Structure 1
C-alpha cells in the first residue's frame, strides 16, 4: 500500500483583501519563491484547493436538506503538501528562502485562524478510474 505524509493548512485572508486578490498574492508572489524551497526540501506535491465563498454557500444550500447538522468551511483556501517523511516539514520551514517567501504573509493571511493537520494519505480511486489499495474489490 502506497502511503505518503500529507500536511494541510487552511488559510483565511485578512478582511481588507478580496478573495481574488488573496489568491493572486499566493499564486503570483508567494509560490514563485516557495516552490524552489519545496523542491529542495522533499515536498513531493503541493496543491492549492481554492474555496470561494459562493461555491461554499451553494454547497450549503444544496446539501442542507441532506445534512442539516453539518457545518461548512468558510476559509479561502486549503493547502496540501505531500511528503515522504514528516522531517521534510522542518527542512522547508528552516530554509532561509522559506522565510523570504512568507515575509508578507501577515499582510495577507489571518494566521490566528489557520488550521493545520498531518497524517497519511492512501489513494483508493485514481483519476484513471483504477481502484487501488482496496482488498477484495473487483
Structure 2
C-alpha cells in the first residue's frame, strides 16, 4: 500500500562525492562558501523550505566501521562526502530551481568539484518518532 501524505512536505536528498583532487575539507568549504551564497536565494525563490548539509568525514566513517564490524559484519558504510536534504512542498520546486535562469551560475564550477556521476537522489517523507525532548510521538498509545 502506497503512503499518501500529500499535506506533508517532501524530503528530497542528494549524496555527493567530491572530485579526488580535492580534500573533503576543501569540498565542504566550496559548498558552504562558494555554492550556497549563490544557490540559497534561488532555493528560497522557488519554495525550498529547508536545506541541510550532512557532512561525512572519512575519519568518522572509518571509526564507525571499526566499531561496528563485529556487531554488524554484513553492513556497508557510505563513503560519500555529504548528504544534502531539502524540505519542499512538491517536487515541482526541484524542476523550478533547475530551470531558474540563475541556476547555471550557481553550479558553474560544480564539474570541478563534484563527481556528479556518483550522485544518489531520493525523495520521501520524514516521520519523527523520538524528539530532542525525549518525547515519543507517532506511536500507538
Q: What is the TM-score when the length of structure 2 is the normalising length?
A: 0.91
Distance 1:97 1:129, change over 3 A: farther
Q: Which runs of 5+ in 2 are unaligned?
A: none
Task: Say which is worse superposed, 32-41 or 127-136, in terms of deviation.
Answer: 127-136
Aligned to 2:128: 123
**Structure 1 residue 119: deviation in Å?**
1.1
**Structure 1 residue 93: deviation in Å?**
1.2
If each structure's strand is expressed as a fraction of its own residues, which one has the higher value?
A: 1
C-alpha contact (below 8 Å) 1:4/1:122 kept by paired residues: no
- 1:62-101 matches, cutoff 5 A: 62-101=67-106
The structure 1 residue matched to 2:34, chosen from 18, 29, 38, is: 29
Aligned length: 136
Task: Say which is worse superposed, 103-112 or 122-131, in terms of deviation.
Answer: 122-131
Aligned to 1:58: 63
Q: Which runs of 5+ in 1 are unaligned?
A: none
Q: What is the TM-score when the length of structure 1 is the normalising length?
A: 0.93
Residue 103 (structure 1) aligned with residue 108 (structure 2): yes
